[in-house]
Chain A
């Protein structure tokens, strides 16, 4: 297994930042923010854009009471205005052992940092973070394997990028026994508890987990108002199964091994893979999350650009 550790400077080189410099990330729906920004806020308030009138309910800010309407109708009416806020984005990086796969056959595309799954995912999230920070949003990061490895709260300081990259550059775990316990579901649940106000949540993972309900916490995040994006990171060799003849396969996350005639099982493997991808996409959509397959042989900016486009055009689920 290759060493998954990498320098955080390698994640975001100048060439990549030049390619993504013109990109902007917007949440697909309203998110909470402290400062005004480019994202629609669920809160009405101090803004110039009138939204609606509604009856007063206990607990409403009396500063929003429309006195003129009260004076005329003797009714307590709350006046709502659209509020724009900055985004709190949480980047979730899967560093389980399965993310250390860098393939044996496929060459990397030009402009791609590496075909290493974890590196590719980290680079993808780093690029996103760089864009979000650049447009004034607060960005946090969570690295996890079977547990939370490291958490970086969402902030928007000038030196926050360095901290963000240091989290994303953490090495992949070498523990092959992570599969013995469900990792993804537990990590997502823990992360959901740590996230505060609703914002953007971007998960980069291969979604390989023994627990069929590992993606269930995504629905909780959506229910809390988070705009959830799932980047399903897979290596081309995982998608194409290019091997031939007899091979001794080892599980990346367990000691299990299997001697297989690759030619004989290719068709069945690809069928299983299709079912797996379809299941992941369906579960994400059911959870209210957006889904995209991120092949590690595709340029980073292509994936990010697709995030910025309307969901159907970009291939987001």
Chain B
């Protein structure tokens, strides 16, 4: 503590003023002869103590006011150790690593909460007028608070922000984002502070670090882990043919060891929990940091769907990666009805020889399906209401009755895919299914090794033409698209290869090629699987979603709900997000995937009572790389050419404003004390 103008302390002599005034009260007073003097004497005796005390308090208050005023004029200050910066206006961007490894606890609490506290310290240490932004480094990096001078708003947001810390790390992108934020600022100097555990998986490339203008600081949050971190590297389920009505779950458990610690055998236990109860469990010994184990659980009935939570029971610092989820059962699977127009069992000439195998390969991870195959005769008697999508593979034109049922099926929300073949008679098709078809079929024609090209909708195939580039067609249907038809895929000569049309709540697709190899080598190309899945997904609408494993924070693409219906996404914690239909939208997305476990996609009708029907599931699982907790070296700023910024600077903090404030408070107290005494006297009279 010190004084900037010590001479002002001479003002302390002013404390003599109230003392003198107090003494001057004994001046010559007016005389009054009072007959009731005895009463006055008794009253004085009773009030003497209180009055003396009040007078003393008033005297002390007045002395305090004068003393504080003198002290304030002397401008006292204290040396304060700033928790960040040097007390000058600064533009600061905080990068907080909210990846999964930051959910680790080091005994002082979760690292993400320690980072939050440190960020709040920085926000409080900055003087008013400074700029501050907060960027989260969980993948994908995003801005929590845009650059602003409203530091209290930043603090408020920081205090209340949900930081679940389940994502992968994206420090490089976060720093890029932070620099872009800072480039909007007007204040200099500029500083960028990265708060992270700087585990090995989050190693930064020094070349990505800023070269000039911005001073960069790295602060490692939390103490290094001391125990091995066990995590589930992989888990998958499949029906066990050796054990009827049982499903086997293969689990691979791994351990990451702190620093250069030599891998040692680690004992643990792997359990599968279904509906909150442990359905199966086995002890496991991790030799050299890895172990595999197979557990068996009862297979749910086909109409049922269960989330099986697989976890490794271990005492480590990062429990979040000790668990993953598997979906059992097929209640959510797509009901696909394949109509084989040219059945030739067990031969490649069978119309569905390739398609059936491709669909089997798709598996639950790409498109969960229950597949039923029928011939055209059986198809006539099949109840379409139990199917979501009907695939007519080289099927002769249906009867009028069946055509009407198909039309009704599509209008009610079903999907129909019509694939070409020798049994397609253009005239009959045009006659029977004109209301359903997205195109008029002119007939078929030979072609010479025609390639496929992208259609009008670029997002139809997620990987574009990859896997289809080598496909050649020697024959095709000649199509004249209806005005309402969409070209999903084309031939290189511009003719439509795949057309789609919405009809009522459903959708019909017409493929100008065959599902077998009659019209070309498409079934032999790797893109065949993706094209088949895309066609089924397109026909099925919002109910078709792959049982995909997503990373936390990743956007899940969903087909847009049909008019009058909605999609509801239920998170593992039970919270639901409802997505309504939007005019003209063909797809939508779901971003709230910051939770680990199984998400349910349910589809319901807006005007229909009752719960929405489960149509799909997907898993959000912990990013495996986050389980590697060994600390990496902090980026070498000299090598990167950046500027290290020193923290914890000592500054002079004047506190005379506070003294003035206290003096003002004393003035108020003195006034109140006097007023209360007078008021009490007035009331008493």
Residues of A participating in the B interface, judged by any CB pair closer than 8 Å: 1, 98-99, 101, 104, 117, 206, 208, 210, 234-235, 238, 240-241, 243, 246-254, 256, 258-261, 263-273, 276
- A249 with B40: CB separation less than 8 A: yes
CA–CA, A210 to B37, complex, Å?
Answer: 11
- Given A246-B29, A247-B30, A270-B684, A208 contacting B47 (CB threshold 8 A): no
Max chain B C-beta neighbours (<10 A), residue from A99, A256, A272: A272
Beyond A241-B685, A263-B677, A263-B681, is A98–B43 a contact (Cβ under 8 Å)? no
Q: Can you list 29 A-B pairs, Cβ within 8 angstroms, ordered by A?
A: A98-B35, A101-B33, A117-B35, A206-B35, A210-B38, A234-B36, A240-B685, A247-B31, A248-B30, A250-B32, A250-B34, A251-B33, A251-B38, A252-B37, A258-B40, A258-B41, A261-B25, A264-B47, A264-B681, A265-B51, A266-B681, A266-B685, A267-B680, A268-B47, A269-B40, A270-B684, A272-B39, A272-B40, A273-B36
* Distance A224 CA – B39 CA, assembled complex (angstroms): 33
Interface residues of B in 656-685 (CB under 8 A from A): 677-678, 680-681, 684-685
| A249 B34 Cβ-Cβ under 8 A | yes
A265, B43: Cβ atoms closer than 8 Å? yes
Contacts of B43 in A (CB 8 A): 265, 268-269, 271-272
Partner of B684, one of A1, A254, A267: A267
B44 touches A252 (CB 8 A): no
Which residues does chain B contribute within 8 Å of A265, judged by CB atoms? 40, 43-44, 47, 51
Q: Is the CB of A246 within 8 A of B25?
A: yes
A268 contacts which chain B residues (CB < 8 A)? Answer: 42-44, 46-47
Closest CB in chain A relative to B684 CB, distance in Å: 4
The 4 A-B residue pairs with the shortest CB-CB distance in the complex, in nearest-first order: A98-B35, A268-B43, A251-B37, A267-B684
In the assembled complex, the CB of B131 is this many whole angstroms from the nearest CB of chain A, namely 58
Instruction: Tell me whether A270 and B685 are in contact in the complex, defined as CB-CB below 8 angstroms, given that A246-B25, A248-B29, A263-B677 are known contacts.
Output: yes
A1 to B31, CA, bound (A): 11
* Chain B stretch 11-57: residues in CB contact (< 8 A) with chain A: 25-26, 29-44, 46-47, 51, 54
Using Cβ atoms and an 8 Å threshold, which residues of chain A touch B46? 268, 271-272
Q: Which of B35, B41, B51 contacts A261 (CB 8 A)?
A: B51
In the bound complex, do residue B42 and residue A272 qualify as a contact, i.e. CB atoms below 8 Å apart? yes
- Residues of B with C-beta under 8 A to A254: 37
A12–B34 Cα distance when bound, in Å, is 28
* A208 to B33 alpha-carbon distance, docked (Å): 14
Please determine whether A243 and B32 come into contact, CB atoms closer than 8 angstroms.
yes
Chain B residues with CB below 8 A from A246, complex form: 25, 29
Q: Chain B binding site: helix, strand, loop or mixed by DSSP?
A: helix
Chain A, Cβ-Cβ closest to B45: A268
Q: Tell me the smallest distance from the CB of B45 to a CB of chain A, in Å.
A: 9
Of the candidates A208, A247, A276, the one whose C-beta lies within 8 Å of that of B32 is: A247
Q: How far is the CA of A254 from the CA of B40 in the complex (A)?
A: 14
A185-B448 Cα distance, complex, nearest whole Å: 146
A259 and B41 CA atoms in complex are apart in Å by: 10
Q: Assess whether B35 is in contact with A264, with CB atoms less than 8 Å apart.
A: no
- Give the shortest distance, in Å, between B40 (CB) and chain A (any CB): 6
Q: A250-B32, A258-B41, A271-B43 are in contact. List 11 more A-B contacts (CB 8 A).
A: A117-B35, A240-B685, A241-B685, A252-B35, A254-B37, A256-B37, A256-B41, A265-B40, A269-B39, A272-B46, A273-B36
- Bound-state Cα–Cα, A273 to B35, Å: 12
- Do A253 and B40 touch (CB < 8 A)? no
Chain A residue nearest to B684 in the complex (CB): A267
Instruction: Give complex CA distance A240, B681 in Å.
Output: 12
User: How far does the alpha carbon of A117 sit from the alpha carbon of B38 in the complex, in Å?
Assistant: 18
Partner of B44, one of A98, A243, A258, A271: A258
On whether the beta carbons of B35 and A259 are closer than 8 Å, the reply is: no
Query: Do A250 and B31 touch (CB < 8 A)?
Result: yes
- Interface contact B37-A238, CB-CB below 8 Å: no
A206-B35, A248-B30 known; A260 and B40 CB under 8 Å?
yes
Closest-CB distance, A54 to chain B (whole angstroms): 51
Which of B26, B54, B678 is the one whose CB lies under 8 Å from A259?
A: B26
| A249:B35 contact, CB within 8 angstroms | no
How far, in Å, is A256 (CB) from chain B's closest CB? Answer: 6
Contact B37 A249 (CB under 8 A): yes
Partner of A253, one of B35, B41, B51: B35
| A250 CA / B37 CA spacing, docked (Å) | 7
Q: Are A208 and B35 in contact (CB under 8 A)?
A: yes
A273 touches B37 (CB 8 A): no
A251, A259, A261, A271: which contacts B34 (Cβ < 8 A)?
A: A251
The distance in angstroms between the C-alpha atoms of A117 and B34, with both chains bound, is: 12
Compute how far the CA of A261 lies from the CA of B685 in the bound complex, rounded to whole angstroms.
Answer: 15
Best-surrounded residue of B36, B39, B46, B54 (most CB of chain A within 10 A): B36
Contacts of B680 in A (CB 8 A): 267
Report the separation of the CA atoms of residues A101 and B32 in the bound assembly, to the nearest whole angstrom: 10
Among residues of B, the one whose C-beta sits closest to the C-beta of A206 is B35
Residue pair B44, A263 in contact (C-beta under 8 Å): no
Bound CA span A302–B47, Å: 37
Q: Name B43-101 residues within 8 Å CB distance of A.
A: 43-44, 46-47, 51, 54
CB pair B51 A238 closer than 8 Å? no
By a CB distance below 8 angstroms, the chain B residues around A252 are: 33-35, 37
Across the interface, which residues of B come within 8 angstroms of A243, CB to CB? 32
Please indicate the chain B residues that have their CB under 8 angstroms from the CB of A247 in the complex: 29-32
List A contacts of B41 (CB < 8 A): 256, 258
Residues of chain B with a CB closer than 8 A to A259's CB:
26, 29
Rounded to whole Å, the gap between the CB of A178 and the closest CB of chain B is 11
Bound complex: CA of A266 vs CA of B51, how far in Å? 12
Give the one of B38, B51, B685 with max A CB within 10 A: B38
Q: Decide: A276 and B29 in contact? CB cutoff 8 A.
A: no
CA distance A246 to B31 in the complex (A): 10
Docked complex Cα distance between A263 and B44 (Å): 11
Bound: A270/B685 CA distance, A: 8
Q: Which residue of B lies closest to A273 (CB)?
A: B39
Which of A210, A254, A258 gathers the greatest number of chain B CB atoms within 10 Å? A258
Please tell me if the beta carbons of B681 and A267 are within 8 angstroms of each other in the complex: yes
A249 CA to B34 CA in the complex, in Å?
A: 6
CA distance A227 to B675 in the complex (A): 50
Alpha-carbon gap, A210 to B43, bound state (A): 16
Q: How far is the CA of A249 from the CA of B44 in the complex (A)?
A: 12
Q: Are B32 and A248 in contact (CB under 8 A)?
A: yes
Closest to A96 in B: B35
Q: Tell me the complex Cα distance, A238–B678, Å.
A: 20
In this complex, the member of A246, A267, A273 whose beta carbon has the largest number of chain B beta carbons within 10 angstroms is: A267
Q: Are the CB atoms of A258 and B35 closer together than 8 Å? A: no
Determine the chain B residues whose CB is within 8 A of the CB of A248 once the complex forms. 29-32
Q: How far is the CB of B469 from chain A (nearest CB, A)?
A: 103
Contacts of A256 in B (CB 8 A): 37, 41
Closest residue to A254 on the B side, CB-wise?
A: B37
